[in-house]
């Protein structure tokens, strides 16, 4: 893997058809149960807000934002995913502008327009980016004063590339119990490794793992404060798709976080 960013772009292009087919118009449980309800409440949209949808994939969040009344500029570095996004949101074309842009390139980001956006959104994508410094440097320029950046990521402590899903059985004071837990062996030091965003996808992509403090400090160093934050776990009644996949058996362990950062100047 010579250049992880190039590897990552190639992988997202190779997986674009599979991703589009499986996420469809409505997304999966991670999106609908863990992320979207909180993202939508943190966005606090006003009529005609102009939103930036960062790493928009096949346009899942872009469409939801338009349906909430926003004007949306959306981008992704996968040209294939942008084609799928355009096709899936064709009926909202007058409310959306799409771009193929790499979030690791600050000048490409600034070409989107300075002081233009009320809020920026990134759903489940920051850990897919080889470098998030250019994005955090550009956002204070792209956003209007007091603008917000709302994002969701897999929980860096419980749901990272080293997480092992464990099922054990015990005799608990005369009652046989099954206990589900997560074993984590790497957290503090940023690193990257290949992984699967969706099981059986054509090509592994890369996860860029960082501890929570990395994300928060990146915001603080660039003029943001953290003003909303939630850790998100599946409710107990949600069935897992596979015996040890994320779902209600892990209801005490959060698989994702959703955060809102606000510019203080
Ligand atoms: C897990 S998908 C999420 C897509 C979309 N936000 C959603 O909620 O369905 C991650 C996305 O990040 C994009 N991505 C990864 N690195 C990127 C970069 N450097 N610049 C722009 N997009 C990137 C991928 O192409 C992919 O569409």
Question: pLDDT tens-digit profile of 197-229?
Answer: 888 889 999 999 999 999 999 999 999 999 999
Q: Is 12's C-beta closer than 6 angstroms to any atom of ligand 1?
A: yes
CA distances 74 to 20, 95, 106, 174, Å, are 16, 11, 16, 56
Question: pLDDT tens-digit profile of 88-118?
Answer: 999 999 999 999 999 999 999 999 999 999 9
Per-residue confidence (pLDDT) for residue 48, from 0 to 100: 87
Measured from the Cα of 78, ligand 1's closest atom is: 25
Predicted model pTM: 0.96
Q: Is 194 exposed, middle or buried (0-12, 13-18, 19+ CB in 10 A)?
A: middle
- Do 151 and 124 contact (CB within 8 A), yes or no? no
Question: pLDDT tens-digit profile of 135-152?
Answer: 999 999 999 999 999 999
Compute the distance between CA of residue 265 and CA of residue 262 in angstroms, rounded to an integer.
Answer: 9
Q: Per mean pLDDT, which range of 119-133, 155-169, 191-205 is the poorest?
A: 191-205
Domains of the chain, CATH where assigned:
4-263 (3.40.50.150)
Compute the distance between CA of residue 77 and CA of residue 87 in angstroms, rounded to an integer.
Answer: 17
101: which DSSP letter?
Answer: -
Per-residue confidence (pLDDT) for residue 46, from 0 to 100: 87
Compute the distance between CA of residue 265 and CA of residue 223 in angstroms, rounded to an integer.
Answer: 7
Q: Ligand 1, from 60, 64, 77, 149: best to mutate by most atoms within 8 Å of Cβ?
A: 77
Residue range 80-88: mean pLDDT, rounded? 98
Question: pLDDT tens-digit profile of 21-73?
Answer: 999 999 999 999 999 999 999 998 988 899 999 999 999 999 999 999 999 99
Per-residue confidence (pLDDT) for residue 1, from 0 to 100: 67
Compute the distance between CA of residue 39 and CA of residue 43 in angstroms, rounded to an integer.
Answer: 6
The Å distance, Cα 180 to ligand 1 centre, comes to 30
Per-residue confidence (pLDDT) for residue 3, from 0 to 100: 95
Q: Could you give the angle at the alpha carbon of 111 between the alpha carbons of 107 and 115, nearest 5°? A: 110
* Residue 265 confidence (pLDDT) above 90: no
Residue 241: band (very low, low, confident or very high) from pLDDT cuts 50, 70, 90: confident
């Amino acid at each position: 893997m010579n250049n992880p960013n190039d590897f990552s772009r190639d992988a997202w292009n190779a997986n674009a058809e599979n991703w589009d087919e499986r996420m469809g118009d409505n997304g999966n449980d991670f999106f609908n149960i863990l992320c979207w309800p909180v993202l939508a409440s943190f966005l606090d949209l006003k009529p005609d807000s102009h939103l930036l949808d960062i790493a928009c994939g096949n346009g899942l969040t872009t469409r939801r934002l338009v349906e909430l009344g926003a004007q949306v500029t959306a981008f992704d570095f996968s040209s294939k995913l942008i084609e799928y996004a355009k096709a899936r949101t064709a009926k909202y074309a007058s409310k959306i502008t799409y771009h193929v842009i790499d979030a690791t390139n600050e000048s490409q980001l600034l070409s989107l327009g300075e002081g233009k956006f009320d809020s920026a959104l990134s759903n489940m994508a920051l850990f897919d980016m080889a470098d998030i410094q250019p994005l955090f440097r550009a956002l204070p320029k792209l956003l209007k004063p007091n603008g917000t950046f709302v994002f969701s990521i897999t929980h860096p402590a419980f749901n990272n590339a080293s997480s092992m899903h464990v099922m054990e059985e015990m005799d608990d004071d005369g009652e046989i119990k099954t206990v589900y837990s997560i074993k984590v062996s790497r957290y503090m030091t940023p690193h990257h490794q290949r992984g699967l965003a969706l099981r059986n996808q054509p090509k592994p992509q890369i996860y860029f793992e960082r501890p929570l403090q990395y994300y928060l400090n990146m915001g603080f160093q660039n003029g943001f404060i953290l003003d909303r934050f939630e850790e998100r776990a599946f409710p107990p009644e949600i069935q897992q798709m596979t015996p040890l996949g994320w779902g209600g058996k892990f209801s005490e362990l959060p698989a994702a976080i959703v955060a809102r950062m606000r510019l203080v100047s």
